[in-house]
């Protein structure tokens, strides 16, 4: 009996180890297949694939600068909105809200992450974009567009569909990811640290800015990178409100494109080998960038965990 037990043990261990290898292979497989599928585009265009502005399906010329630019700009807008809001929410939930309300409010914020992105997209297209076109963008045109420096960013036709709207929707979508990590680490700050600040006469703002944030810095930055990773790769919500335009424009009110939206919109219509390869090459770029961003996020969060004395 003992002998069969040992054999079964070994089998069981091999099965679980095999499954673990499969997770690793999955990530490697995605990277390799994207690189392989996109090799035709990379070979044909070289660096022009990244720097070229011309995405011409008919002529078979593919330069992906516009979707890359659109991805970066919308993600930047998303972070500009989501970072302060998420830190505010985390502060509210750890220090300000009445104790009984913290659980329900935290769950409500987390539900923002549960809503499928296609719902964000539909709401964005039918409700939010018309709202932007009717109320926000005319105001921006009238009051911000004439300012120096930032003016050109906010002048353009108020059509609702564009980089600003997409960036705001993305911002809402990443708030729960940043807020939940920030809340967790804020409440893990050792009480004696905060109490000593109180004893020295600090106000709540001073506790946040001089004790809590410095102490949790690496985790908060990690959470921001996590949010960035989400924003870069988000597909459906952006596809609905970005407008699928391949023109480069400085104005945030103009329609644009993103890597994920270009793939979603065009992949099933790609009728030549080069066209399909170009879209897969875009997928490779997206995967590589999010991989780096998420790796940084994970390393920063691990560092925080070690600081808090956790092993995992």
Residue in 114, 148, 191, 199 binding other proteins, rule: CB under 8 A = 114
The CA R_g of the chain, rounded to the nearest whole Å, is 23
Of 145 and 166, which has the nearer Cβ to other proteins?
A: 166
Contact flag: residue 214 with other proteins (CB under 8 A): no
Q: State in angstroms the smallest separation of the CB of 122 from other proteins.
A: 5
CB of 171 closer than 8 Å to CB of 162: no
Stretch that binds other proteins, among 50-58, 61-69, 87-95, 156-164 (CB under 8 A): 87-95
3-state secondary structure of 10: helix
Q: Is 203 in the site for other proteins (CB under 8 A)?
A: yes
What are 145's two structure tokens? 């567009």
- For other proteins, the closer CB: 147 or 310: 310
Contact 156, 177 (CB under 8 A): no
Asked if 134 interacts with other proteins (CB under 8 A), we say no
What is the signed CA dihedral for 83, 85, 87, 90, rounded to 10 degrees? -140
> What is the DSSP secondary structure assignment for residue 154, as one 8-state letter?
G
* Residue 60: how many other CB atoms lie within 10 Å: 11
Minimum Å gap between C-beta 258 and other proteins is 10
Q: Tell me which residues in 156-175 interact with other proteins (CB under 8 A).
A: 172, 175
| Pick 119 or 193: Cβ nearer other proteins | 119
Are 144 and 154 contacting, i.e. CB atoms less than 8 angstroms apart? yes
Question: Is residue 142 close enough to count as binding other proteins by CB under 8 A?
Answer: no
Exactly one of 133, 211, 260, 300 binds other proteins (CB under 8 A); that residue is 260
List 63, 121, 243, 255, residue binding other proteins (CB under 8 A): 121
3-state secondary structure (DSSP) of residue 55: strand
């Amino acid at each position: 009996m003992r002998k069969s037990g040992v054999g079964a043990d070994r089998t069981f261990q091999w099965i679980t180890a095999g499954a673990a290898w499969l997770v690793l292979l999955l990530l490697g497989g995605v990277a390799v297949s994207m690189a392989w599928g996109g090799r035709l585009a990379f070979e044909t265009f070289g660096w022009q694939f990244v720097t070229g502005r011309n995405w011409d399906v008919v002529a078979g010329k593919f330069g992906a600068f516009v979707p890359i630019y659109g991805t970066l700009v919308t993600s930047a807008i998303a972070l500009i909105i989501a970072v302060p809001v998420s830190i505010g929410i985390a502060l509210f939930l750890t220090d300000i809200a009445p104790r009984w309300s913290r659980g329900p409010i935290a769950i409500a914020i987390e539900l923002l992450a549960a809503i499928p992105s296609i719902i964000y997209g539909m709401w964005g297209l039918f409700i939010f974009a018309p709202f932007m076109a009717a109320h926000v963008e005319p105001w921006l045109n009238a009051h911000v567009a004439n300012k120096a420096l930032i003016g050109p960013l906010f002048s353009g036709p108020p059509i609702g569909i564009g980089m600003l709207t997409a960036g705001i929707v993305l911002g809402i979508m990443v708030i729960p990811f940043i807020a939940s990590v920030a809340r967790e680490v804020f409440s893990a700050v050792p009480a004696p640290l905060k109490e000593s600040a109180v004893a020295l006469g600090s106000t709540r703002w001073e506790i946040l800015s001089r004790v809590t944030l410095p102490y949790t810095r690496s985790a908060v930055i990690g959470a921001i990178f996590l949010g960035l990773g989400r924003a870069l790769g988000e597909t459906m919500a952006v596809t609905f409100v970005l407008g699928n335009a391949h023109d480069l424009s400085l104005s945030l009110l103009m329609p644009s494109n993103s890597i994920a939206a270009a793939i979603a919109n065009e992949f099933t219509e790609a009728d030549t080998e080069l066209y399909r390869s170009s879209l897969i090459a875009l997928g490779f770029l997206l995967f590589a960038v999010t991989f780096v961003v998420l790796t940084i996020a994970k390393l920063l969060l691990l560092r925080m965990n070690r600081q808090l004395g956790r092993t995992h």
